[in-house]
Structures are given as C-alpha cells and as structure tokens.
Amino acid sequence: MIWNKAKECMSRDELTSLQSARLVKLVDYVYHNVEFYRKKMQAIGILPSDIKSIEDITKLPFTTKDDLRDNYPFGLFAVPQSEIVRVHASSGTTGKATVVGYTKRDIDIWSECVARCLTMAGVGRNDVLQIAYGYGLFTGGLGAHYGAERIGATVVPMSTGNSKKLTTMMLDFGATAIACTPSYLLHITELLEQEGLIDQVKLKYAICGAEPWTEKMHKDIEERLHVNAHDIYGLSEIMGPGVACDCAFHKGLHVCEDHFYPEILDSNTFKAKKEGETGELVFTTLTKEGLPLIRYRTKDLTSIDYSTCDCGRTSARISRFKGRVDDMLIIRGVNVFPSQVEAALVDVKEVSPHYMMIVDRVNNLDSLEIQVELNPKFYTDEIRVLEALNKKITHVLSQALGLNPKVKLVEPQTLVRSEGKAVHVIDKRKLY
Ligand code: DLL
C-alpha cells in the first residue's frame, strides 16, 4: 500500500515549514524563469527576497485562466520546450485552449499524488481498475493511468465512448475498481441494471470526479453498485486529477498540500475566508517545474477544514464543491464556456449573435442543444440551404467546443432578449 505516512501525516508545523521552504524556492524560480511573473512582481514592487515564509503568499499576484490564454500556448512555461515531456489542454474562455506542460519530474509527482488518492480510496495492487476518463488532451485518462500503475494496480485503459464494451470487460475481467465521471458511472449502472447484470459486478471502489456531483448521487452510486464511491478533484492548470480526494471517512477531500497550497478567498475582496466558510479556491503549485502557477484562481467554490481527519491524515480537507464563480459549464466532462459559442458564431455571417445553450441530462448522459438565430439578411426557408447551414454551424461549434452539440436554427427575433445580463444558458440538469 502506498500510504506515505511521513508525508501525509506530518504535523501542521512541519507541513508549514515545508510549504514555506518550497514557496521561497518557487518564487525565486518563477522570477528568474517566467517573464510574466517577473513583470507582475516588478509591477507591484516585490522581489523574491521579500518572500520568506508561506504567510508572505498574500504579497504575491494572482494568476487566471485568461493569463494562460494570453500567453498561449507555452508562454508561461518555466523550462525550455526540450524539458517538457507532455502537454495537455482544456477549453479556454474564448475558444483558445488552455495548454499545460509537464517535465519528467512533474509527471512523477503527479503520479504520486494520484497514487495517494487511489490508496485513500482503497485501491491497491490486487485491484483491476478500469479507467473510463477520456485519454488524450484531457488530463483525466492519462493522469489516473500513471497513478494507478504507480500503485501496481492492473490498469484497463478504457477511455470513454463505448459503454457496451466497458460493461462486458468489467464483468469478463472482474474489474474491482472504476475511475470515471459520476454521471457516466450512473449511466453504466443503469445499463447493467437494464441488462440484469448488476449482481455480477465485482466493483469495490469508484473514483469519480471531473464534474460536480451531489451527496445524493454519491449515495445512489454506492447503493446501486455496492461500491465505496470517492470524490477526486483536480484541474489541468494545477496538474489534473489527484489534487485532492476523499478517504474512507468521506469528510472532505484531502489536498496534496505538500505540492499544492490552497487558499479560500472572497472572490471580490480577495480576503481570506475563515476555516469552514465558503469561498473561491486558489492554488499555488509548490513543486511544479514545467508550468508553476502562483495563486491560481480556480473559480471553484468550497470551504476548508484543517483538523486531523479520523483516518489519521493531517492534510487540509476541502468540502464537496458548491459551484463556480464563473459561467463555465462541464458537459460530459468537457469544460465549456458560453463565450466560446459566441466567438465561434461571429465568423458565420448567416447567423446573428443571438444563441441559447440548452443543457440536459437524459439517462445520466449530458446533452447540449444550441439554438442559433438566423441573420435576417440571410433568412431563407429553403430546407436544403438550412440543412447545409446547420451542418456547417455544427462543425464550427464542434471544433470550438470539443464536443458535438445538436444545433437548431431558429427564425430571427425568436430567442428571448434579456433586459439585464444576457441569458445564454438553460441548464436543465438536476444534480439530484
Ligand atoms: O477535470 C481533471 C480531473 C480529471 C479531475 C478526472 C478529476 C477526475 P479540467 O478539465 O481542467 O480538469 O477541469 C477542471 O473541473 O475546476 C472543477 O470545476 C471541475 N471538477 C474537477 N473535479 C471535480 C470534482 C479535470 N471532484 C474543473 N467535483 C475544476 C466538482 C470538479 N468539480
């Protein structure tokens, strides 16, 4: 079992000293290797020597997703490209991907963090783990994969997209653990129930994340599949899955605090929230080489608990996520911003900038319909022309979003105009 007690059970004082030493090193590192941070620090008159301990973190500037986008693709990397052994990418706010890069050591630390999370969930070398997060630019598949190999589990790299094959292999291989999004696991559960196969399932653990889920979904998965379901959190910018995960006591997600320093802040005043109060989660990567980030605003809302957990781990625990500060949607695990739709439609002269995204969840699978208003200048009711246009817009939007929406063209002036802030999303998914 990989439970590195020396790291996961160090006293808060020991942890604070470690975090301080790592922050001091990090600030010096970014100042000398990332022009963006050097300029930001110079602009507010901060030198690396001003940072002496973790308490000084509040003197440092924030980093946002827009900063990554503005420096697309590799502008924030702290090492030459020859040191980068892997890149991943997720959606940015206006269509440009957020690109992240890892050195060999980063991948090593990432694997260790995921290994810790899987161990927290109970997965070990005797388990057969099906990974049904997407493999590819998304961090879920490969991130979970390396961590699972680190603990010596038998990994089945399913990826996403073939539920029938997944259920067949689950039973044939006697899978004892599965890692995928919670909504997809409920979908798989339903398939197994419909086919009368649920009693043959040998799963003991489910490691679910990449999207928000409720206590009710958690209970549902545990009861219907007879598994221990664990919540794993992460984001590409900071690393990928494995930033935090909950243990057998399910009293919050243990943060790998020796690598990622969490702050919970008020999104408007940037003042620290008290322990237990909800605010925006902000992370500083303490050990990353490829893409070190200082005070990265995740936009995720949660609270923090510094007390020692019943499992013995001393790392801080963040609560199940309570939403986001921004308008990012997570649809089938893909991060989608309404502004991406807007940016993609600007170049299509046959339509107007009026659109509505309708997100739904049927049989635990997310669907996205995008209604787009035709431009009065190009309005036609000729079916053939409309079909061709629909095809073109579907292609443009699929390329921009990284998933296939259903496009519905509507007549000019059909979509409701809002008097205040424009409403572009109707999210019918009931996170029950
Ligand atoms: O979703 C990384 C990941 C993969 C995490 C697999 C867990 C499992 P991104 O695509 O960059 O990375 O999306 C990050 O997803 O800021 C949250 O809003 C949301 N998110 C991730 N995990 C959870 C979770 C991956 N357990 C964004 N609960 C984050 C709620 C989550 N939201």
- Please tell me the predicted confidence (pLDDT) of residue 2: 54
- Using pLDDT thresholds of 50, 70 and 90, give the confidence band for residue 381: confident
402 C-beta closer than 6 A to ligand 1:
no
Q: What percent of the chain has pLDDT over 90?
A: 84
DSSP notation for 135-150: PSSSHHHHHHHHHHHH
- pLDDT over 70 (residue 3): no
SS (H, E, C) 190-255: HHHHHCCCHHHCCCCEEEEECCCCCHHHHHHHHHHHCCEEEEEEEECCCCEEEEEEECCCCCCEEE
Nearest CA to ligand 1 atom 15: 210
Average pLDDT of the chain? 94
- Please tell me the predicted confidence (pLDDT) of residue 256: 98
139 C-beta closer than 6 A to ligand 1:
yes
- Please tell me the predicted confidence (pLDDT) of residue 9: 85
Which ligand 1 atom minimizes the distance to the CA of 335? 10
**Separation of CA 312 and ligand 1 centre (Å):** 26
CA atoms within 13 A on the CB side of 257: 29
Across 193-207, 230-244, 262-276, 370-384, least confident range? 370-384
CA atoms within 13 A on the CB side of 79: 18
* Angle, CA 250 vertex, CA 246 and CA 251 arms, to 5°: 95
Compute the residue count for the chain: 432
132 C-beta closer than 6 A to ligand 1:
no
How many Å apart are CA 71 and CA 218, to the nearest integer?
38
Residue indicated by tokens 């890149």: 87
**Separation of CA 265 and ligand 1 centre (Å):** 19
- pLDDT over 60 (residue 372): yes
Cα-Cα-Cα-Cα dihedral sign, residues 116, 122, 125, 129: negative
Nearest CA to ligand 1 atom 27: 235
Cis before 73? omega within 30 = yes
How many Å apart are CA 10 and CA 283, to the nearest integer?
20
Collapsing DSSP to helix, strand or coil, 332 comes out as coil
- pLDDT over 50 (residue 1): no
Element (H, E) at 31: helix 12-33
How many Å apart are CA 79 and CA 66, to the nearest integer?
21
Q: What is the average pLDDT across 82-110?
A: 90
- pLDDT over 90 (residue 331): yes
pLDDT in tens, 274-289: 999 999 999 999 999 9
290 neighbors 106 (Cβ within 8 angstroms): yes
139 neighbors 241 (Cβ within 8 angstroms): yes
252 C-beta closer than 6 A to ligand 1:
no
233 C-beta closer than 6 A to ligand 1:
yes
205 neighbors 123 (Cβ within 8 angstroms): yes
Q: What percent of the chain has pLDDT over 70?
A: 96
Q: What is each CA distance from 356 to 129, 324, 331, 361, 362, in whole angstroms?
A: 39, 20, 15, 17, 19
pLDDT in tens, 23-71: 999 999 999 999 999 999 999 999 999 999 999 999 999 999 999 999 9
281 neighbors 232 (Cβ within 8 angstroms): no
DSSP notation for 37-103: HHHHHHHTT--GGG--SGGGGGGSPPB-HHHHHHTTTTTT-SS-GGG--EEEEE--TTS--EEEEE-
324 C-beta closer than 6 A to ligand 1:
yes
Q: What is the average pLDDT across 192-196?
A: 96
Nearest CA to ligand 1 atom 30: 212
Residues 6+ apart with CB under 8 A from 58: 272
273 neighbors 279 (Cβ within 8 angstroms): yes
Q: What is the average pLDDT across 306-330?
A: 94
Most distant CA atoms of the chain, gap in Å: 72
Structure-block tokens of residue 43: 């602009």
